[in-house]
Structure formats: structure tokens, C-alpha cells
């Protein structure tokens, strides 16, 4: 593929990603994507043939980015408590930089019954992760309570993702402007790992 073609395909995918994230599959229009990318419809059809094919390409890349972030951090060779703090810190930044991704992924996964996560064996990736082994080892030593890794992961993700997805409610209830919301999420970087560690540690 020539550099010119690569550039055109990249522009189309970047535009499609913005439109699909904001509008979802049903709401997105190919003409809107073409205008966003600064190309004509014929060029989009040349590279991707259909809206479905373009969407699947964007969706697969977005999911890989979302899931890949988690898997990489779960397998980092760092102590358990440090790892929990790092996951909260990094994932908060990732979600704040990409606030439309969680809603986009969840809405589409409800339609296809979690096919992507089944396809990559997300259950196995979590079960075989360094993180899961650390939880089991620390529980066996009597340092923390026994707990399923998924419970901890969901506690982390839920506490990070929900305030971003529910941002209009959070900002209204908390009387927060943009800077106030950023500060609110910054505070959660401290609060969330403290809550999780307080639950995990045995008295």
C-alpha cells in the first residue's frame, strides 16, 4: 500500500472512530464520516466496502485498546498493593482521555452478547494473570482475605468508569465545572485504592 493510500485510510478510520464513539453504530452515517474525514463516499467504500466492515475495524481496535490496557497492567511484575494503585492511576487517566469508550463498548457488547470477550478468552487471560496469582498467594499467606480476582477488577473499573459515564449527574450533584470534575477524579485516584486495600487486608 502506498503512503498516500495509508494516509487516506488512516484519516477515514480516525474520523469513523470519532463518529462511532459519539453516535454508535445505528446513529452513525457514512456521509457524516466522509465529511469528517474530508473524503468522498466512494473512497470509504473503496477501502472498507460497507459501514459494517468499517465499524468492525474500529470496534476491534477500540476493544483491543481498552482490554489491552487492563491485561498489561494485570501482568506487570509489581507487588500487589503497588499494582492496584498503578492500575487505578493509569486507568483513570486513560478513561478521562477517552470518556466515550466505556459507553461505546458496553452498548455494543450488549447487542452481540460479549462475543469479543469470549473470542479473546478474557476469562482465561484474567484467571492466568500475575494479578490473580498474587491475590491467591497473599490470601494463602494470610495477608489478605480470599477473593475472586473478578471482584477486585470490577471494583476498580466500576469506581473509575461509572463517574465518567455518569458525568452529567456527578457534575450537577457536586456543582462541578470541568476543572472541578478533573479534581474530583484526581481525588478518586487516592480514594479507590485505599478502599480496595482496606477491604482486602485482614485486621
93-133 pLDDT, tens digit per residue, is 989 988 888 877 777 666 666 665 666 667 778 888 999 99
The CATH number for 9's domain is 1.10.10.60
Query: Domain containing 187: what range?
Result: 59-200
**Do 37 and 118 belong to one domain?**
no
Q: Which of 123, 120, 188 is CA-nearest to residue 158?
A: 188
What is the structure's pLDDT at 101?
Answer: 80
- Average the pLDDT over each of 34-43, 70-79, 118-127, 146-155 and give the range with the smallest value: 118-127
Cα–Cα distance measured from residue 123 to residue 24, given in angstroms and rounded to the nearest whole number: 26
* pLDDT the model gives residue 64: 77
- Does pLDDT of 5 surpass 80? no
pLDDT at 68 over 90: no
Half-sphere exposure (CA, 13 Å, Cβ side) for 136? 9
Average pLDDT of 87-96? 92
Alpha-carbon span 38 to 11, nearest angstrom: 8
Q: Are residues 43 and 86 in the same domain?
A: no
Do 44 and 65 fall into the same domain? Answer: no
| Interacting residues of 44 by C-beta distance below 8 A, sequence separation 6+ | 12, 30, 33, 34, 37, 54
Number of domains in the chain: 2
Residues 189 and 124 grouped into a single domain: yes
CATH assignment of the domain containing 175: 1.10.357.10
Asked if 58 contacts 48 with a C-beta cutoff of 8 angstroms, the reply is: no
Cβ–Cβ under 8 Å, residues 146 and 199: no
Shared domain for 179 and 112, answered yes or no, is yes
Q: In this structure, is residue 133 part of a structural domain? A: yes
Specify whether 76 is located in the same domain as 100: yes
Same domain, 73 and 170: yes
Same domain, 119 and 189: yes
Assess whether pLDDT exceeds 80 at residue 89: yes
Kindly state the percentage of the chain with pLDDT values over 90.
Answer: 44
54 lies in some domain: no
At 198 the pLDDT is: 95
Q: Rounded distance, CA 134 to CA 69, Å?
A: 19
Residue 31 · residue 15 · CB < 8 Å: no
Q: How confident is the model over 160-201, as pLDDT tens digits? A: 999 998 999 999 999 999 999 999 999 999 999 999 999 999
Q: Do residues 112 and 180 share a domain?
A: yes
- Reduced to 3 states (helix: H, G, I; strand: E, B; else coil), residue 144 is strand
- Of 31-35, 124-128, 140-144, least confident by mean pLDDT is 124-128
Q: Residue 203 has what pLDDT?
A: 62
pLDDT of residue 162: 93
**Is 159 domain-assigned?**
yes
pLDDT above 60: residue 1: no
- Residue scoring higher pLDDT (106 or 203): 106
Same domain, 97 and 133: yes
**Cα–Cα distance for residue pair 33/17, rounded to 1 Å:** 9
C-alpha cell at 121: 478468552
Amino acid at each position: 500500500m502506498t503512503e498516500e493510500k495509508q494516509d487516506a485510510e488512516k484519516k477515514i478510520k480516525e474520523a469513523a472512530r470519532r463518529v462511532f464513539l459519539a453516535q454508535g453504530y445505528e446513529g452513525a452515517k457514512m456521509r457524516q464520516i466522509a465529511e469528517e474525514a474530508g473524503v468522498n463516499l466512494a473512497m470509504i467504500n473503496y477501502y472498507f466496502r460497507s459501514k459494517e466492515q468499517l465499524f468492525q475495524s474500529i470496534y476491534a481496535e477500540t476493544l483491543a485498546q481498552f482490554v489491552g490496557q487492563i491485561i498489561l497492567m494485570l501482568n506487570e511484575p509489581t507487588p500487589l498493593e503497588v499494582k492496584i494503585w498503578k492500575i487505578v492511576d493509569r486507568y483513570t487517566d486513560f478513561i478521562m482521555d477517552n470518556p466515550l469508550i466505556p459507553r461505546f463498548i458496553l452498548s455494543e457488547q450488549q447487542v452481540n452478547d460479549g462475543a469479543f470477550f469470549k473470542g479473546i478468552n478474557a476469562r482465561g487471560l484474567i484467571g492466568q494473570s500475575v494479578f490473580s496469582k498474587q491475590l491467591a498467594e497473599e490470601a494463602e499467606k494470610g495477608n489478605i482475605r480470599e477473593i475472586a480476582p473478578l471482584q477486585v477488577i470490577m471494583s476498580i473499573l466500576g469506581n473509575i468508569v461509572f463517574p465518567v459515564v455518569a458525568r452529567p449527574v456527578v457534575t450537577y450533584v457536586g456543582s462541578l465545572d470541568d476543572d472541578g470534575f478533573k479534581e474530583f477524579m484526581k481525588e478518586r485516584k487516592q480514594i479507590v485504592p485505599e478502599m480496595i486495600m482496606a477491604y482486602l487486608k485482614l485486621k
